Amino acid sequence: MKLATARLAQIALPLAAALALTLTGCSKQDASNPSASQPTKTALPAQPYEAVASQGKGFTVGAMMAANTVYVLFDPQCPHCGNLWNASLPLHGKVKFVWVPVTLMNAKSGPQGAMLLAAADPATLMTEHEKSLLAGTGGISASANVPAELEQTLKNNTALFNSLKVESVPYILAKNQRTGELVTHNGAMDSAALGNFLGLTQP
């Protein structure tokens, strides 16, 4: 009986760890590209929201005329980012989102991020990409030959992410619509939780 209990504990602990991971995000330690996961030593911005607003380069979706902008730093190879994208879709009529790609996970992150940045219709392409990624088929096909300008943009975005001293994606920065206060969040959440987090609904 003791042996069976011990065996159950051995099984349960990894399962609990895996479950915890599914509730958070993709961390630098999850990356299969070691060089991409190394943080750049930079000073923490005094105003992180303003730093991302002025330095981050992403694609804009949702309510273009909205007063407040929600910034999401994400890696195209992160499934948690895919879940957050899907959760954000019902809010596109109320909120302007800027999705800022970074390269933390693997060799596909850069080419896919560049393709999303260059897309004429990034919302449609992002939905297609995340559907493929969450289905386990790797996301959209993208050429490994990334234009130099887009490659530099992705490097700058990743350096900005590292300067925030954040360990995982997706990472959200916003100003709560009810309070005007800066709010940040690591990881995915469902549509209802996201709406409340952004101050679109009452808690």
Q: What is the pLDDT of residues 154-176, one digit of tens each?
A: 999 999 999 999 989 999 999 99
Cβ-based neighbour number of residue 163 at 10 Å: 19
Asked if 108 contacts 51 with a C-beta cutoff of 8 angstroms, the reply is: no
Q: What is the pLDDT of residues 110-157, one digit of tens each?
A: 999 999 999 999 999 999 999 999 999 999 999 999 999 999 999 999
Q: What is the mean pLDDT of residues 198-203?
A: 84
Cα angle at 5 between 3 and 6, to 5 degrees?
65
**pLDDT at 17 (0 to 100):** 35
Cβ contacts of residue 79 below 8 Å, gap of 6+?
A: 26, 133, 134
Whole-angstrom distance, CA of residue 196 vs CA of residue 95? 12
Q: How confident is the model at residue 4 (pLDDT cuts 50, 70, 90)?
A: very low
Which domains, and CATH codes, for the chain?
47-197 (3.40.30.10)
Say whether pLDDT at 76 is over 70: yes
